[in-house]
Structure 1
Amino acid sequence: MDNKKAVVVFSGGQDSTTCLFWALEKFDHVEAVTFRYGQRHIAELDCAREICKELDVPQHELDMSLLNQLAPNALTRNDLDITEDEGELPSTFVPGRNLLFLSFAGVLAKQINAKHLITGVSETDFSGYPDCRDAFMKSLNVTLNLSMDDSFVIHTPLMWLDKAEVWELSDQLYAFEYIKENTLTCYNGLKGSGCGECPSCKLRQKGLKQYEEKRAGVSAK
């Protein structure tokens, strides 16, 4: 495909920032789209803005606050606890989020003549979210193309990577330290290593420890 323009769905977290660095290496022109959907912490939006500014990436912010009206969840409501009960979707699951985000990203891509959409979903280290699955992404890709009579390609570079492998990819992209220090993954709104207690921080730190051990072993040889 000749078109080398891409849109990255961007939150300022580890995964989407890794995808942003990946896209900057793969495509001639990259823009980011960030969604305001009533997140608990404004720090997430501030973090995304800062990263885009530092990397000189044009950023679009879209208001998706309707999501909070339709689907109250622990990511947007301080009065709901963050829980992950066995056999049930986590309380952080927002029904329709990736469907809506990527649909609106596709509309934006159409306006700026970009053919590539990049998102940091993963089927390997995920909490059972149905909209992170590869089958859904392939289905949505077809639907987007049919809906706008276009030829978008949805890229999911992290789909089959666990968190340790995501850290490894960031290292290969020469972005390991940057992502370690400057991204916000924590459900409690703390940048970098975060609170260390929420499910997102635990997953991030587990992967980081695994990769740093592997990295140290390789360096020692």
Structure 2
Amino acid sequence: MDKAIVLLSGGLDSSVALHLALKEAKEVHAISFEYGQRHNRELDSAKLVARKAGVADHRVVTLKLDQWGGSSLTDKKMSIEKGDVERTDIPVTYVPARNMVFLSVAASYAEAIGAQDIFIGVSQVDYSGYVDCRQEFIDSMEKTINLGTVMGAEKNQPIKIHAPFINMTKAEEIKLGVELGVDFGLTWSCYNGGEKPCDTCDSCLLRAKAFAEADVIDTSL
């Protein structure tokens, strides 16, 4: 592939996705979002990951999703709930339609620079109950993007959404990341800000579980 766009949050999943895209595409552009999240610690990690990886360009787009809240990640009046790796309900950290918004912006960016490939590091195996991390959503979103862009609807240059980890566990992602040379020490997964991870939120627990299952040391600790 020629040009690729990678949604880069600075977390584990997106950082591995970035390195996979670097292996498969000639030119990689990373896009991150300042969407009104309660802290910028993960965004700081995204900048470090992109810089070390040597992407062609790294854009940070501001979207004020905190104007209406609806998530403990964008509304400081809401608390980050205690983590539960066996959770089956939708957690309060779910940000309404976040991946839909992010992929729409990425599609605009992709069309503007003539990129036909977008990478997103979602998984429907370890997805914390987020409905916008499922294969059916990715398939539907790809169809919508190609119906609503000149590239897809008129030029026969369809945009492809790559979700390479959709059926992989985080442990499998970590093993792949090791092969790709990902510096996990630069990544951040904790829903809370601060100097060190809280070790109690869903994201921290899922990360710890994944590294243990992969038998890999988490160098961010």
Question: Could you state the TM-score of these two structures normalised by the residue count of structure 1?
Answer: 0.88
Query: Which ranges of structure 2 fall in alignment gaps of 5 or more residues?
Result: 153-157, 217-221
Give, in angstroms, the shift of residue 87 of structure 1: 5.3
Aligned length: 206
1:187 aligns with 2:191: yes
Contact 2:5 2:110 (C-alpha < 8 Å) held by counterparts: yes
Partner Cα separation in structure 2 for residue 6 and residue 155 of structure 1: 10
Greater Cα offset, 83-92 or 134-143: 83-92
Matches for 1:88-127 after TM superposition, within 5 Å: 88-127=89-128
1:160 aligns with 2:167: yes
Matches for 1:50-199 after TM superposition, within 5 Å: 50-57=48-55, 58-65=57-64, 67-83=65-81, 88-149=89-150, 150=152, 151-175=158-182, 178-179=183-184, 181-189=185-193, 194-199=197-202
Residues 118-172 of structure 1 show CA distances to partners (whole Å, capped at 9, x for unaligned) of 0011100111111111000001001000100320000001101111111111122
Greater Cα offset, 80-89 or 70-79: 80-89
Partner Cα separation in structure 1 for residue 208 and residue 6 of structure 2: 24
Partner Cα separation in structure 2 for residue 170 and residue 35 of structure 1: 23
Percent of residue pairs identical: 38
Contact 1:184 1:190 (C-alpha < 8 Å) held by counterparts: no
Partner Cα separation in structure 2 for residue 187 and residue 29 of structure 1: 31
Give, in angstroms, the shift of residue 88 of structure 1: 3.2
Contact 1:123 1:133 (C-alpha < 8 Å) held by counterparts: yes
The SS at the match of 1:208 is helix
Question: Does the C-alpha gap of structure 1 residues 171 and 190 become closer, same or farther in structure 2, counting only changes over 3 Å?
Answer: farther
Partner Cα separation in structure 2 for residue 200 and residue 153 of structure 1: 28
Partner Cα separation in structure 2 for residue 118 and residue 79 of structure 1: 33
Q: Which has the higher contact order (CA 8 A, sep 6+)?
A: 2
Partner Cα separation in structure 1 for residue 69 and residue 143 of structure 2: 26
Question: Does the C-alpha gap of structure 1 residues 11 and 87 become closer, same or farther in structure 2, counting only changes over 3 Å?
Answer: closer
Give, in angstroms, the shift of residue 55 of structure 1: 1.9
Contact 1:82 1:90 (C-alpha < 8 Å) held by counterparts: no
Report the residue type matching 2:172 in the other structure.
Answer: E
- Residue equivalent to 2:155: none
Give, in angstroms, the shift of residue 190 of structure 1: 5.1
Partner Cα separation in structure 1 for residue 170 and residue 52 of structure 2: 24
Measured on the aligned residues, the alpha-carbon RMSD in Å equals 1.7
Partner Cα separation in structure 1 for residue 26 and residue 194 of structure 2: 32
Query: Which ranges of structure 1 fall in alignment gaps of 5 or more residues?
Result: 214-221
Give, in angstroms, the shift of residue 174 of structure 1: 2.4
Partner Cα separation in structure 2 for residue 72 and residue 125 of structure 1: 22
Contact 2:30 2:50 (C-alpha < 8 Å) held by counterparts: yes
The SS at the match of 2:5 is strand
The SS at the match of 2:215 is helix
